[in-house]
A = this chain, B = another copy of it.
Amino acid sequence: MPDIPHMTPDQFRCQADRLLDWAQQYWDSLEQRNVTPQGGPGSVLAALPDRAPERTPDADSEWDAIRDDLDRIIAPNLLHWQSPRYFGYFPCNASGAGTLGILAAAVFNVNGMLWATSPAATELETRLLDWCAHAFGLPDRFLSTRDSRQSEAKRWGGSAGRSGGGGGCIQGTASESTLVAMLAGRDRARHAGAPIDRLRVYTSDQAHSSVIKAAMIAGLALGPDDRSQIRLIPTDHAGAMRPDALRDAMADDLDAGAVPCSVTATLGTTGTEGVDPLPAIADVIDALCPDPKPWLHVDAAYTGAALICPEFRHLADGMDRADSLCLNPHKWLLTNFDCDLFWTADRDAITAALSLTPEYLRNEATDAGAVIDYRDWQIPLGRSFRALKLWFVLRHYGLEGLRSYIRNHVALAESLEQRLDADPRFHLVGTRRTALVCFRMDSDGHTEALVRALNARGRIFLSHTRFVVNGESRYVARVAVGAPRTEAAHVDECFQEIDRAATALLA
């Protein structure tokens, strides 16, 4: 095939070696490089040619040009999520082990949509989700394999419709897990006879935007501002859902003949890491709702990572009463994007909402009911071999290594919190649970100007939210300590940057 320029093995290895050199240079550069992107809108577009190349006369020099473009066009126009001075949003961790796992998955490049289309992809994933259920101290009801369950009898079965066994899989993002959970609750209620327009879904006013987006996708909200079927329950001073307010909203809806079908609780809100009270929420559901009860999903996307340490597991009290949960190793557990772990106690409700089998996907293993086909647990059909990167991370670091990693960031966040608290210009906001520190200055104008000045300078990157403090919505700065290489010196620099910017602002 002389006219198809596939890379030869030598060519591939040579370019892979050069790309690894480039990768190390990029990673090394992060210590000095500013965190924030340089160019304004359109600058990358303008630097790229209008048309794809028709042919590449010399592949080696093209690869030289590609790496040069990575340095010249791409890298300067990225937000450097791997920088040790990245403190924005939540982290998005890469690691050497995770990167190698991605490489191995790209080498196999299988589509694990069915067990039959790559048994090892399915079964490694099943095993890893059980590993993680144990590692994060989750209830047995979320385990996939019978031999992993300490006791079938221990499984909590207080709610109807939980006919299926439990289990877990890897989703792309927490948004997808939230959507899958809402669909399971929606269709459990519809199968029990509730018309779609009578359904109601509940979450807190501090829940992630993906909950409203899930309602939009599921046909339960027409646009982001439609509140006819979604109830945003007020939160307390720490950003946690108020169970009394949930009770009132649900009671009103039930009185009006509506059908609660989904409750999304948050273990660590995006704004201020608020933790919803799961036992009280489950009590409200059990006290008020007839069977089938609304599906209780727990979005632990960020804070869930800390459950690997026993000292944080109290945050997950009541998890044994949830129908599903998710947490993201791609945020704060060194597993490159994307990797969201999703567990359910009722796999049948998930597949009832998402499974269909056309003839061209039928196979003996599926027909025999002997295997799990994870396509039936997710939105897309196709699925990549994401389990490999999680496997590599767990094996390279070990659970103790990952616990040290989490504890280091939490200790650094605590030290930053103390320094901010000791400075009269800064006021802490919310309640720090793990490694997110929220603070404000005396006025919203000052806080917003501070965040903008810091990010414009670019030595550190923060993000912001709004949060109700003493009855007033306030602009709040967020510092999430969680980049892979963040050490004490970077958190020191973070405080110095904040200090310097505040001084300039107040001068």
Contacts and interface: CB of A to CB of B under 8 A. Distances in A.
Contacts of A45: 123, 126-127, 145
Nearest to A46: B123
B4 A404 contact: yes
Interface string A458-482: 0000011110000000000010000
Contacts of A255: none
B102 A106 contact: yes
Contacts of A213: 354, 356, 381
A107 interface: yes
A415 interface: no
Among A20, A354, A391, residue most surrounded by chain B Cβ atoms (within 10 Å) = A20
A485 B6 contact: yes
B210 A381 contact: yes
Given A3-B401, A119-B78, A96 B219 contact: no
A89 B23 contact: no
Nearest to A90: B111
A175 interface: yes
Chain copies in the assembled complex: 2
Interface residues of A, number: 162
Contacts of A330: 382
Among A12, A19, A59, A109, residue most surrounded by chain B Cβ atoms (within 10 Å) = A109
A102 B279 CA distance: 43
A134 interface: yes
A142 interface: no
A27 interface: yes
B56 A190 contact: no
A395 interface: yes
Given A45-B127, A100-B19, A103-B102, A116 B379 contact: no
Interface in A347-398: 352-361, 365, 370-371, 379-382, 384, 388, 391-392, 394-398
A62 B96 CA distance: 14
A464 B359 contact: yes
Nearest to A67: B104
Interface stretch (A36-44, A244-252, A288-296, A427-435): A36-44
A196 to B, nearest CB: 5
Contacts of A94: 106-107, 109
* Interchain residue pairs A-B with the least CB separation, the first 8: A219-B219, A224-B356, A7-B96, A94-B109, A44-B123, A77-B120, A12-B96, A55-B398
15 contacts: A3-B404, A6-B96, A6-B484, A6-B485, A37-B118, A43-B123, A55-B400, A74-B120, A187-B222, A196-B219, A197-B197, A216-B356, A224-B356, A338-B382, A379-B379
